[in-house]
Amino acid sequence: MAVLVDITKCIGCEGCTVACKRYNNLNFKAKPRNVKDDGNVELDDNRWTVIQEFHGEKNDKLRFVKKQCLHCKEPACASACFSKAIQKDEKTGAVVYYPDLCVGCRYCLVACPYSIPKYQWNEQFPQVSKCQMCSERVSKGDAPACVSACTTGALISGDRDELLKKAHEIINSDSRYINHIYGEHEVGGAEWLYISDVPFEDLGFKDVSNVPVTSYTKSYLSKVPGLAACWALFLSGIAFYNYRVDKNRKSHDDDDQDKEG
């Protein structure tokens, strides 16, 4: 399951954000934790998706942009999570967080190139928060709640290859659109795809590499089990050495006592 976002069709109605809160039982009354200098609200533990407003720098176009987890094809957050609390569901495409497996290390917050995962800093038993792409709905063949709530056609869900084909057709047939599908190649590609008539850099999108972040760590992570085994062997050796030293020292002390006696 993938989603195509047509920024030209978004009217900023916030229907998608309301649907997200309802489906995920998020707190409607919670005040925003992160507000940018331009007044746009950022994602937080009670806002898994937000609508941000932008005025084009080179023109006077007003555009509304939906932000949430992009659900990468090769998610860095999942790669960084040694407890497997974040996993890529290959069937639905969703990058899902499992709180029961989370140890609170927050490596995922550091690893994500888009700074998506948030942490419940004010909770007694904090968890990581991020869009789950309504994985339970999607697994049953339904669209994510936000997509179902969109009445303008700004959000369309479906097979990723089909959506990419549709996006290219729209771009090629309408000169208003820039020739770029955000999410097609960024950090290895994502399940959320965007098309726009305004450059993405003017809409707050991060300029990231097309190379998956996980490709930088795979060669090192593959060596972790071996290094862990070597480290365990090293520590065992030290423990055995200390044991022998203590045993020999005690033996010498006993001999000295016997001689004195």
* Phi, psi (rounded to 5 degrees) for 121: -65, -30
Sheet architecture: strand order including 2-6: 155-158, 2-6, 192-195
> Which class does domain 2-214 fall in?
alpha beta
Cα distance between residue 195 and residue 170, in whole Å: 9
**Model pTM greater than 0.85?**
no
Query: Exposed, middle or buried, 228 (CB in 10 Å: 0-12/13-18/19+)?
Result: exposed
Strand pairing category for 62-67 and 50-55: antiparallel
154-181 pLDDT tens trace: 999 999 999 999 999 999 999 999 999 9
Sign of the alpha-carbon torsion through 184, 38, 40, 63: negative
- Domain spans, the chain: 2-214, 223-260
Q: What is the pLDDT of residue 1?
A: 93
The pLDDT value recorded for residue 251 is 64
Residue stretches of the chain with pLDDT short of 70: 56-59, 217-232, 240-241, 243, 245, 247-248, 250-261
CB 108 within 8 A of CB 128: yes
